[in-house]
Structure 1
Amino acid sequence: MLPIPDLADAALVWAIFLLAGVVKGVTGFGLPTITLGLLALTRSLPEAMALTLAPAFATNVWQALAGGAFRPTLRRLWSFALAGAAGAWLGAGVLLARTDAAQLSALLGVLLVASSALALLGPPWPPPRPGRERWLQPLMGGASGLLAGLTGSFLVPAAPWLAALRLPPAQFVQGFALAVLAVMLPLGAGLARNGLLALESGLTALAGLVPAFLGMAAGQRLRARLPEALFRRAVQAALLVLGLYLALRGALAA
């Protein structure tokens, strides 16, 4: 017999998915990090990671295929995404069960605050030279995937790195989505290997696909009205807010 989710808890989860979908629609990222940060107030980080898998995967399939820049984005970022998948397996499949998740979440928040504050308050970062970009792509992807495997959030250094590439908004959004899709499968496999995927959590997450997509659609309409410079500042501002929240929550839990 299938387990019946608690309705009050399920409603809270779906409301979080709706909010995270709006942010993801505007900035191109943030759904896993927002859901993880809020869900971890009432459950363990690994359980929150399991709840986030299905909505993150489904919304990123949509995001990766929309925008008309799939092929050029894949050609430029394939090594970034592939290295991210390898890092996610190492983090979730090997290291997660041996690591204090609260401390890692706080560290992730500190990294987010530092990178976004520099982007917002410092001079613009020059894009990497083509020769350097080729070997930095897998390095940045692997580091991002490792942190995603340990915390569920694929933001650092992925978002600052993609912003430094000066990608057009469509390619930024699609590139981020492609990399997240590459990370989700090994992340889910790693959680399953450690016995961290529960049927009840999966049912609640599947039902949350509807509010996640509704929020993402609303956010995309809002993003279409933003000029490119404002879009990039919105990306960095979202990173700053998310980082402050994660760092403060981790410090309070220590």
Structure 2
Amino acid sequence: MHDAISYLLFLVGTFLAAGVVKGVTGMGLPTVAMGLLGTVMPPASAAAILVIPSFVTNVWQLFYGPSVAQLIRRFWPMMLGIILGTVGGAALLVRVDPVWSGCWLGVALMAYAGYALIAPAFSVPAALERRLSPLVGLITGVVTGATGVFVMPAVPYLGSLNMSREELVQALGLSFTTSTIALAAGLFAHGAFQVSQLGTSAMAIVPALIGMWAGQYVRMRISPKRFRQCFLFFLIALGLELASRPLL
């Protein structure tokens, strides 16, 4: 009984924290949730719990603006790459030793946080977008399938396309929503997404949405830059812990 209560409190706290980060920064819910859940369970189980709250919050982000149809027409080759890469890459998340898949999750967290801290400014010419989008989508899909983390390299790539802030937020929502659906399909195809996990995943919606609301409230009262820096250093520390497990 005590273990069950502790587990429930841990889940609630995880998705509250992940929701706060998404509310403040517009992203980061799957990254934080996968990182924290990955410390107590295999990444495949963590990814299965993440599916529904990630889907709900990302769909809201996607449709919170006028450019949905235009973005789908523009980025459908990238989304197709994400789907193919994620479904195939999910086999790694399911079959690889959890210690090693957790290690790669840690590497992905550190790579993302390190990139975001340095934030080198670069811009992709419009002429290259059509060629690069499917490749970026495929690589993002493989990383998503193997680690449950949606951000690399899709986030820096989309940020380099000179979109308006509103278009970028919606494009991220489209990418994250596609990744969530593809990850659920990949986990199901490889026998790692059980019906019994739907209840736990659905339960996580409430703390995730509460966290998002709290994050939006916080965002209006503190420096988002300072919060973002603290968040990224936290991800590096978490990534180091996960990546070092095979050495312990």
Alpha-carbon distance, 1:33 to partner: 1.2
Greater CA drift, 15-24 or 96-105:
96-105
Is 1:172 matched with 2:168? yes
- Aligned ranges 1:165-244 → 2 under 5 Å: 165-223=161-219, 238-239=231-232, 241-244=234-237
- Identity value in percent: 33
Is 1:126 matched with 2:125? no
Distance 2:143 2:63 in 1: 25
Alpha-carbon distance, 1:76 to partner: 3.2
Distance 2:159 2:226 in 1: 10
1:161 aligned partner: 157
- 1:97-123 C-alpha deviation (Å, 9 max, x unpaired): 34331232132134224422331xxxx
Root-mean-square deviation over aligned CA pairs = 2.6
Greater CA drift, 239-248 or 131-140:
239-248
Distance 2:4 2:206 in 1: 18
How many residues in Structure 1 have an aligned counterpart in Structure 2? 242
Q: Which AA in structure 1 matches 2:112?
A: L
1:141 aligned partner: 137
Q: Which AA in structure 2 matches 1:91?
A: G
Alpha-carbon distance, 1:151 to partner: 0.7
Structure 1 alignment gaps of length 5 or more:
none
1:117 aligned partner: 117
Distance 2:95 2:85 in 1: 16
Distance 2:241 2:116 in 1: 16
- 1:82-138 C-alpha deviation (Å, 9 max, x unpaired): 21111111101x33334331232132134224422331xxxx523111111221111
Q: Which AA in structure 2 matches 1:107?
A: V
Distance 2:101 2:38 in 1: 11
CA contact (8 A) 1:18 1:215 kept: yes
Alignment TM-score, normalising by the size of structure 1: 0.83
Aligned-partner SS, 1:33: helix
Alpha-carbon distance, 1:220 to partner: 3.4
Greater CA drift, 193-202 or 204-213:
193-202
Q: Which AA in structure 1 matches 2:94?
A: A
Distance 2:144 2:42 in 1: 16
Structure 2 alignment gaps of length 5 or more:
none
Aligned-partner SS, 2:244: helix
Distance 2:211 2:235 in 1: 18
- 1:3-49 C-alpha deviation (Å, 9 max, x unpaired): xx933312220221111111112222111111111112221111111
CA contact (8 A) 1:128 1:165 kept: yes
Is 1:77 matched with 2:75? yes
Q: Which AA in structure 2 matches 1:249?
A: L
